Amino acid sequence: MRNPLGRHRRRLLALLGAAALAVGGAVALPGTAQAANVLTNPGFESGGLSPWTCTGNLGSVVSSPVHGGAKALQGAVTDSDNAQCSQTVAVQPNTTYTLSGWVRGSYVYLGVNGGASTWTTSPTAYSQLSVSFTTGASQTSATVYVHGWYAQGTYWADDISLDGPGGGGGGDTQAPTAPTGLTSTGKTSSSVSLSWNAATDNVGVTGYDIYSGSNQVLTVSGTSATVSGLSPSTSYTFTVKAHDAAGNVSAASNAVSVTTNAGGGGGTGFKQAAPYLYEGWGDPPSPTTVMSATGIKWFTMAFVLDSGGCTPAWDGSRPLTGGADQSAINAIRSAGGDVVPSFGGWQGSKLGANCSSAAALAGAIQKVIDAYGLKAVDMDIENTDEFENEAVQAKILTALKTVKANNPGLKTIVTFGTSTTGPTYYGNRLIEQAQSLGANIDVFTIMPFDFGGGSDMYGNTVNAAEGLKNKLRSTFGWDDATAYAHIGISGMNGLSDQQETTTPAIWTQIRDWANSRHIARLAFWAVNRDRPCAGGGVVSNCSGISQNTWQFTSITAGFTG
């Protein structure tokens, strides 16, 4: 197959040459007036992007890595979007300005629209870029930008400065008019689309800030936006304010209230956003606190194991009913949610390996179904005792076929490891045996972590899922849509055991891809770890990276399939 990066690399070389000529051919520039940084929020210390705007909503403010202060910009570059973040400011005509900033990543650019730019590649440390330009004879505004390059990975930027005199003589102090006619143009269970009439300004409107209640949630340059990551069946009230290059902000637009659609995916397909919650590890949080903060409705409860004699128990030791796990499940259901128990996992005494037959295993699973009136069960098939044992695979699949037949409407899920290109030998055998046994599995969920994902966790996760889709197509004779509808993704938030890093921005990309392909299930390991601890390593009760508390759960709640 041809290298999919080839097209981007050819474009990259062409642009590098053009940039080199532009910078190298610059003539000596006249001196500036007294220098001052005319950018707003140059070091992102506000904790938000405004007044910066980023293409594809791919920019975010992070706490690590930073150059100075406590915050920096992160751009989540994709194959088709260079995650350009820009800011428009007022400038004086026929005046020299110097643009500089600290950047980190592969092929990071700093420049001004219609003028000079420069770039560097510094994947492991911040490096300073600087370029000068002179405004035109009648120019009163300039748009500066920073961006990465297609398919070259995430970049970071910090402490960006545009040194020179501010525009507008004594300074523009007139705010734009308030936007009018704010209305909702569409909604899903996790997003609301908005549009409004443009505001006016004595110099020019440079952007619009969208608010949900009192919280600014998005900044855009046009007169429409889609706010994503919302909770199903929830009422939101939105307003919009305009701003100009001098930082003047208008009054709020009219307010519009919108209730998102119900979750659960709709239609006839099975859709489930269900991160793992483990009551036996990692300072288990209150599930209702997490639900209230994020809008999540489902949890995957870990793990049902064998307490001896093919008898199910939580972790193999906590009672099936009457303990902490049942208390958590009761609380989740009282708050309008539900659970899917996960059987197995990486270690411990597993029912799949220990039960003497498929019938005995089906009986053990049935005890859990009866105890909780379950709608779905997940078999987490891992390690040499289950995943790499084809006889045990067949036992598990046959047991699932039995409980599915005995419990009409029950959904069955199998979860297993993967390579970066799709199922491994044993993953392929699991799928092939599911077909030959007629197990009628609803969801085949891969775990794209600890799989050599390296620095491109988004790209390798998508590649693994596409490989799974192709295997399901060839094995079952399904079309693409049907194959995607039988796929699940179960990631690992933050730092993995192999030091792979999945950031909130990357997880958002994965969720958006999952929604665009209408897959069946999105999960991650684990809600217990969905708390910040930058530099904390791989631990049970936090992610090892900088993030907001419950941020991955909130992103996952936006999965609708």
Which amino acid is present at 71? Answer: K
**Predicted confidence (pLDDT) per residue in 154-205, tens digit:** 899 998 989 888 765 456 778 899 999 999 987 776 678 888 999 998 888 8
Lowest mean pLDDT among 134-138, 245-249, 518-522: 245-249
Distance CA 493, CA 290 (A): 16
The full DSSP string for 437-478 is HT---SEEEEE-SSSS-TT-HHHHHHHHHHHHHHHHHHHH--
How far are the Cα atoms of 362, 435, 446, 466, 488 from residue 398, in angstroms, in the given order? Answer: 8, 11, 20, 26, 21
**Predicted confidence (pLDDT) per residue in 336-354, tens digit:** 999 999 999 999 999 999 9
Closest listed residue to residue 112, CA positions, set 82, 134, 140: 134
Lowest mean pLDDT among 93-102, 199-208, 261-270: 261-270
Distance CA 159, CA 65 (A): 13
Dihedral (C-alpha) 308, 312, 318, 323: value to the nearest 10 degrees? Answer: -150
Distance CA 506, CA 458 (A): 6
Helices 425-437 and 390-406: angle between axes, nearest 10 degrees = 40
Helix (H, G, I), strand (E, B) or coil at 140: coil
Residue 2 scores a pLDDT above 70: no
Q: Which residues are catalytic?
A: 382
Across residues 411-440, what is the average pLDDT?
A: 94
Tokens representing 270?
């099975």
- Which carries the bigger pLDDT value, residue 49 or residue 399? 399
pLDDT reported for residue 32: 40
Closest listed residue to residue 212, CA positions, set 235, 244, 232: 235
